[in-house]
Chain A
Amino acid sequence: MEFHIQDVTMTYPNGKQALGGLSLRLGSPSLTGLLGPNGAGKSTLIRLLSAALMPSSGVIQLDGAPLKDREMELKSRLGYLPQEFGLFDELTVWQFLDYMAALKGIRDSRAAIRQVLQDVRLEEQAKARIRTLSGGQRQRVGIAQALLGDPELLILDEPTVGLDPEERIHFRNLFSRTAQNRLVLLSTHIIEDVQSVCDHLIVLHRGTILFSGAPERLIQAAAGHVGVFWEQDAPENGEISVTARVHTACGVRCRGVAGVLPSYARPEEPTLEDAYLYLISREVAR
């Protein structure tokens, strides 16, 4: 499966431009992380790729044909978890998944449901009414419906919201396994979620792509721009953007990014978060 996005813009009826001239190629197998601050256009891009929106201009092609002409085919191959979604509260977990399996045209729905319930660790809640589930369990039902039928394309928008740390690790690994032979697009605010599993990263900012490539490349780009220093050594309005502060017995130890590290900062090996923040801060400074 391959998406080819060419010069796509998306302007909402209220005049707000969410994406401007975006060009991109996404192909399987891959676990692609989509990062960006609020309002960067992540959800818009995801909705465009799931055919919930049509672009104002530009072309999105799926396997060489316009997406609009392949809407039915896309939907039959898509597992989608939006950021905000609802469930039919009066149904049981099994009934809801059965309903979604029918919508997706999955033939052996029983096996598929059993598999995803196992994947999201909800076997025991299979017969529970959805209205009785906790927030985290509902989120897992959402993930389960996206995984139903082993879709070739999995688009997940903030999938780990509301999950506890142990579950987040579990799902991170699950997505990583899933991406071995398909395309998984993972949009998130939590850089930790993408750091260890994504082989490809897209950073969006104000509707344009700031970075697209392997996470290592982003980290490399930040080398020499990340440092640590004691807060008391730094002048007020210093030229370094603080990304973390830790209270220690000797004072507040800070971590920051800057185009040119000041003398009071000691260079450090950048993490993906550092690299991302460096990229965004550079863009903001511009």
Chain B
Amino acid sequence: MKFVRLFLLEFFRLLQSPFTWLTALATALSPLAGLLFYQPAQAGTMATQFLANPALAGGVCGGIFFALLTLEELDRASRSRVEVLADAAVPPRHLALLRLLALIAAAALCFGVTAALWFPASRRLIGSVFDTGDYVLAYGLFMGLALPLSILAASSAYQFTRRTDLSLALVAAFSGLSLTVWAGDWQLCWLNPSVWALSDDFSNLRIFRSVAYIRLTWLGALEGVWVISWLFVRQWGKGPLASFLCGIRRPLGPLLALCLLAGSVSAWAAQPLVDHSNPDLTVMTFDALSMLEGVTCSRRSAQVFPDTHAGTVSGKAVYQLQNRSGSPQTAALAVNPGYSISSVLANGTPVPFSPGDYEEYNEAMAEVTLPADPQIELEVEYGGFPQESRSMSTMQGRLEISGQYLCLENSALIPRLLNVSPEGEERYPTSVEIILPSHMTVIPFCASEAAVTAVHSDGTSTWSYEYTGSGGILYAGDYLREDIFAGGLSIQFYYGRKHQAVMEAAGAAEAIQAVVDYCTEHYGPLSFGADGSLKLIQSRVSGGGYATNGASLLDEADFTAANLNDQNKGTAPGEVMIHELVHQWWGLANMFAPGDPKDPWSAEGLTCYTTYRIAKELYGEDYAAEHYVNPWKQAVEDYHRNFYVRNPQYLSILPEEERLQITNRLAELRQYCEMPLKIRKAETLVGGEAAMDGILRGLFQRELDWAYPYLTYEEFLDACGLEKEELDFETNCEI
């Protein structure tokens, strides 16, 4: 009771300090930094830009502000000599604990007010895809937990040193490490967690889990350090060491510190989220395994049971194997490193198996002893929390498993046979059964369709589908589907239910129709449209799209309300939608080298040009001239008039950040405006639109060099029979 009263009074006293209010005000404003200049999360989704970045900035800035407040408060008590009076009433360690709790309570209050203040702003900025749950978790984890961590760090530094200047230097170094050297290591950046994207349309539980895990790991570590520093609190006029020696006479403090530190180190070492794959991505040991002589696989099947609450998967895979060798063999299976194999049966009899320690490309290898039987039904039970690849540890979130979204790739879906060849010409015919909540739609990333085979009373459904391949990717989520017939293709367009308003406002179905009709007619069909069918799947934010036979993935970041209003890409949201879909032809089916981002030749040039041509066909020449050609010309003129373009020597003396900002803006202008104008100029030089369409059709359908499958500017010029200089404008300068 006395402790509670003391705590309340210390807390109340803290609230009387003007420095506390200054800190609270600065912290409340700090999410603004995430909107203006501190933007560590790079993805283009609304939640990334208007939720993740402000919350991260709030955590970093608020953490630093509260560390300063902590040092000021701890030093003030000793500087103002109130400590002498207080220590006479209560032992100094009691007071140290009280002050820490009061500071944390003040931080919690400040955080609560900040989160409440920013709620309406975030809601307005994010628009129809705003999610209150994501807001609470993002602010709580990215910002809220940063404050006690900083307070613990600053308080520990002060208790060790009893000097503000030294503590300030220690806290600055510790924070600086997190923001710079450690920023590339998701486990070390204690102040600024590794968050690269938040999804608008689907859940973000995986990245929230990751940040929560790291926050709690650091919380344990810093609490342990704090308890040790607490033992150094000076008492009875003794120095740090003598006070510590007195402090450890009672075992509770040291034991608590040891437990916290041991728990934290264990959590750090045994983190379940990211694998330990070989960081050398040139090593491909698993692919180099020799195939077993006389052993083949004619079929495999899997029953997969994701737990959408826990984010885990359990499953049973059955392989039909033929062993013609007449002797026992050792088959190798690749599983996600987060999974463990619980049992292996061959023809109903348990057989030995051994999980391996070595991991490569997000897979771990398990070896299974096959009997000498000629026909073997191998049954493998597996499960666990799928881990993401170490090489992508700062971009976690891909293997999301929740009631809103699910992505299981290759060995995270079903263990992959590494050294057993398929029987016959078909590559591993596979059937998959998966049980998911009934509101989720299962979308195999291949030509085949999944169908509901059973509806269960617990609100789940069983979906099943078949495909061939050694791996396999499966998406599922709260999807809406629109069927569109265009360009001779039957298109199933899947997008997140939360995105319905945005998609409808942008006329997504009409845009797909227009693009597929136009591009198929002018350039040719997409190579990945299998048997006249194509799934266009809006995926959770993934950093880009990719395609396979019968399916193509569209990154949700391309369809955000902000992107659909990007004037560089189109006049209206519907035209930006067209622009993004044209990337299926220019960008995905025909790739461009991911080289210098300042290179004006990129997928954007041909995409903007094609969008202009579609707009011209849909809305007429005047519309296209007014909304595309004229703005491009104006932008190019402005570009050539730009001070830094004319005087690049002044650009070079600007600070790097400012220079990059200017060059990026100008490079974007060249990609989105100058290059389509050059293509239009080429169109005139080659004899008009029909001639250009013929050239582009030829380029689109050219035979690819798989070693370098990118369409280059030189190839384009050669196809046009033009020299680079012929497409230059009169006042040509480059930056």
Report A's interface with B, CB cutoff 8 A. Answer: 13, 47, 50-54, 71-72, 75, 78, 80, 82, 84-91, 95, 98-100, 102-105, 142, 145
Contacts and interface: CB of A to CB of B under 8 A. Distances in A.
Nearest to A82: B84
A12 to B, nearest CB: 8
B80 A102 contact: no
B251 interface: no
Contacts of B646: none
Given A13-B239, A78-B88, A90 B80 contact: no
B457 interface: no
Interface of B: 2, 5-6, 9-10, 12-13, 16-18, 79-82, 84-91, 95, 236-239
Contact of B238 (A54, A72, A89, A142): A54
A180 B9 CA distance: 33
26 contacts: A52-B88, A52-B236, A53-B236, A53-B237, A75-B91, A78-B89, A80-B85, A80-B89, A84-B81, A85-B84, A86-B79, A86-B81, A86-B85, A88-B80, A88-B82, A90-B16, A91-B16, A95-B12, A95-B16, A100-B85, A102-B2, A102-B6, A103-B86, A103-B89, A103-B90, A103-B95
Contacts, number: 75
Nearest to B15: A90
Query: When A and B form their complex, which 7 residue pairs have the shortest distance between CB atoms, in order from nearest?
Result: A86-B81, A86-B80, A80-B88, A53-B237, A103-B89, A54-B236, A102-B9
Contacts of B81: 84-86
Contact of B89 (A87, A88, A104): A104
A50 B90 CA distance: 11
A54 B90 CA distance: 16
A104 B86 CA distance: 9
Given A75-B91, A90-B18, 12 more contacts: A50-B88, A52-B87, A53-B236, A54-B237, A82-B85, A87-B80, A91-B13, A95-B12, A99-B9, A102-B2, A102-B9, A105-B2
Nearest to A102: B9
Contacts of A80: 85, 88-89
Nearest to A155: B88
A233 to B, nearest CB: 50
Contacts of A99: 9-10, 13
A52 B82 contact: no
A47 to B, nearest CB: 7
Contacts of A98: 9
A51 B9 CA distance: 24
A104 B87 CA distance: 10
Contact of A71 (B79, B91, B237, B238): B91
| Central interface residue in A82, A84, A99, A145, by most chain B CB within 10 Å | A99
Contact of A52 (B5, B95, B237): B237
A99 B86 CA distance: 9
A85 B80 CA distance: 7
| Central interface residue in B17, B88, B91, B236, by most chain A CB within 10 Å | B88
Contacts of B90: 75, 103
A50 B17 CA distance: 29
A88 B84 CA distance: 12
Contacts of A13: 239
Contacts of A52: 84, 87-88, 236-237
A90 B82 CA distance: 12
Contacts of A95: 12-13, 16
A86 B75 CA distance: 13
A52 B85 CA distance: 10
Given A103-B6, A145-B85, A51 B13 contact: no
A227 to B, nearest CB: 44
Contacts of B13: 88, 91, 95, 99
Contacts of B237: 47, 52-54
Nearest to B81: A86
B88 A75 contact: yes
| Central interface residue in A82, A88, A142, by most chain B CB within 10 Å | A88
A95 B14 CA distance: 12
Contact of B84 (A71, A84, A89, A91): A84
A78 B86 CA distance: 12
A53 B236 CA distance: 4
A52 B12 CA distance: 27
A184 to B, nearest CB: 15
A98 B10 CA distance: 11
A82 B238 CA distance: 18
